[in-house]
Chain A
Amino acid sequence: MKTRAGLVAGGCLLMAYAVGGALTDADVAPGGVLLFLAAVLVGHDVVWMATVLAVGAALTRVPPRCRSTLRAAAITAAAVTVVGLPLALGFGRSADNASVLPLPYGRNLVAVLLAVAGTTLLACVVRRRATADRKESERPAEDRP
């Protein structure tokens, strides 16, 4: 109980420090920070989660054999896209600095996603074979010719 009370009290102090610090820091535009906090929260909890839940629901229709592989692939693809899309969109490129974002990110992102898809397909096929083999060997001996 002491530990928990300490964690909660300490956490509240740090949050108060954050608010106080942000309000007194001349470099912080509190309105901008607040707006961005709200935007990422709403963007995630409404827009992003709606998409994720729709994809998740679609995944329940694939055969159970492949489902967890496909789910892992979807997670990987989504995460890589979050990191790679801002690069692929290329708004950070700079006319006078070729060392900023020097790679063809759109092409690279597609290549990584295709590699994920390929690996997933392979894993599904291997698993299907393994399941088929297991069924074969589990069949009672008298059934065999």
Chain B
Amino acid sequence: MVRHPDTPVTGRAAVLRRLARWCLTPLPAPPVALRRGPLRPGRFRSRLRSTRLASQLGVALGVAFGICFATGLLSHLIQHPPGWFWWPARPVGLYRFTQGLHVATGLASVPLLGAKLWSVYPRLFSWPPARSIAHAAERASTGLLVAAALFLLVSGVLNISRWYAPMPFFFTAGHYWVAWLAVGGLLVHIGVHLPAVRAALARPMAPEPRQDGLDRRALLGGVAAASGLITLTTVGQTIRPLAGLAVLAPRHPDVGPQGLPVNRTAAGAGVRAAALDPAYRLWVTGPVRSVSLDLAALYRLPQYRADLPIACVEGWSAVGTWTGVRLGDLVALVGADPRRSTALVESLQVGGRYRACTVPPEYVGDPLTLVALRLGGEPLHIDHGYPARLIAPNRPGVLQTKWISRITVAGTP
């Protein structure tokens, strides 16, 4: 028996084929009378716009968003580590670098996104609005990509400016999930436009008119200058030698009590009274025994010095000279092996997202991980965590718990 060539081999393939055909069937064109305003042909006249420009800006944006996504995801994993995740205590300043890069790259991509969206703006008004179901879906996903990209940059800028009121959501969670949305949209977008990008970035077959080429390069130069100026005026919040130029940075690495910026104050955390209480005790609970130490007892233990940065999730960082007791020594005091113990460090704060943190064994056993009592040789300022705070290498500032009240050690003797 001879099969008809169109006869489906299996039912599922047929369904898929029919679905594909349905998605690609041309939709009826809307009445021409609706083609008004910006939808009219020839409304956008700038000769600067071209697929080549959109592709060049697109590639730069793709790289920038890739860097932001990788560094942002890393920051998320450090703060919410799943079982498979491991983050080392060295190099000391790695997180400072990655999160500084996150914020700097995000800020530098503001002009890139602006120029890119300008360069493709006429396509918003292409006619007919949707040629087929597939085309409509593609346009919807482009809309999501644009909304997500704007969301990330605007929420990021608002967050580092600490202006939370315009954001009707919890920043970190919203920014995190929208980042996945943006990256998904970006992959779809690249998949859709790949041939156009390849063609546009290959040496042009027909050379563009000289003046157009000069104009396009001048525009790209302007975008690069804008990115450069933003970087120059902000990146000093984490690169110390450039602090003098950082006139638009939300933080200055030298400004704050004891010459160091503060994220959350004692008053803001509601711990002033408890922290200043002369009856203060640090409780350390281990597998073998528990101890409670007052400040004098803490000072009687061997004191060590560590020059370590506070590296804020908001992209600023500043180095302090900390002195105090090694966390490992306290863990050993309650009968556990520091290199095989995990410590839960809790603050005097009663509530709040960042009142406690978990310190994994790589950090507990690290000689630079301190329960710091002093900063720059003086007792800690209350806003830096008096009477005692955690300071460890290569960790975000939100995990450097201040006003420590209790350390619970889970480990083996």
Contact = CB atoms under 8 A, between A and B. Distances in A.
Given A79-B230, A87-B161, A112-B248, A4 B194 contact: yes
B251 A102 contact: yes
Contact of A83 (B150, B234, B265): B234
Interface in B160-196: 161-163, 165, 167-170, 172-174, 177-178, 180-181, 183-192, 194-195
A101 B162 CA distance: 9
Interface residues of A, number: 71
Interface of B: prevailing SS: helix
A52 B200 CA distance: 26
Contacts of B226: 72, 75-76, 78-80
Interface string B238-268: 0000000001111110011100111001011
A72 B222 contact: yes
A71 B174 contact: no
Contacts of B110: 79, 82-83
A94 to B, nearest CB: 7
Nearest to B256: A99
Interface in B30-71: 46
A37 interface: yes
A87 B234 CA distance: 12
Contacts of B154: 40
B147 interface: yes
Interface stretch (B5-13, B211-219, B300-308): B211-219
A126 interface: no
B114 A75 contact: yes
Given A21-B177, A79-B111, A83-B234, A99 B183 contact: no
B165 to A, nearest CB: 7
A75 B151 contact: no
A83 B227 CA distance: 11
B174 A32 contact: yes
B219 A68 contact: yes
Most buried by B among A5, A28, A96, A99: A99
B163 A40 contact: no
B250 A75 contact: no
Interface string A45-81: 1000100110010000000000011011101101110
Interface string A78-99: 1110111011010111101111
Nearest to A107: B247
B162 A94 contact: yes
A103 B191 contact: no
A79 B170 CA distance: 26
Interface size for chain B: under 10, 10 to 19, 20 to 34, or 35 or more residues? Answer: 35 or more
A44 B148 CA distance: 12
A33 B114 contact: no
Interface in A1-48: 3-8, 10-19, 21-22, 25, 27-29, 31-33, 35-38, 40-41, 44-45
Contact of B115 (A11, A75, A112): A75
Nearest to B260: A99
B380 interface: no
B293 interface: no
Given A11-B184, A36-B151, A76-B226, A28 B177 contact: yes
A126 B7 CA distance: 74
A82 B230 CA distance: 10
B233 interface: yes
Contacts of A71: 218-219, 222
A3 B198 CA distance: 13
Contacts of A29: 168-170, 174
A91 B163 contact: yes
Contacts of B222: 68, 71-73, 75-76
Given A41-B150, A80-B230, A98-B255, A15 B157 contact: no
B144 interface: yes
B15 interface: no
Given A35-B168, A108-B247, A15 B181 contact: yes
Contacts of A52: 114, 118
A116 interface: yes
B250 A80 contact: no
Contacts of B146: 41, 44-45
B124 to A, nearest CB: 7
Interface of B: 46, 107, 110-111, 114-115, 117-118, 121, 124, 141, 143-144, 146-148, 150-151, 154-155, 157-158, 161-163, 165, 167-170, 172-174, 177-178, 180-181, 183-192, 194-195, 214-215, 218-219, 221-223, 225-227, 229-230, 233-234, 247-252, 255-257, 260-262, 265, 267-268, 383
Interface of A: 3-8, 10-19, 21-22, 25, 27-29, 31-33, 35-38, 40-41, 44-45, 49, 52-53, 56, 68-69, 71-73, 75-76, 78-80, 82-84, 86-87, 89, 91-94, 96-103, 105, 108-109, 111-112, 116
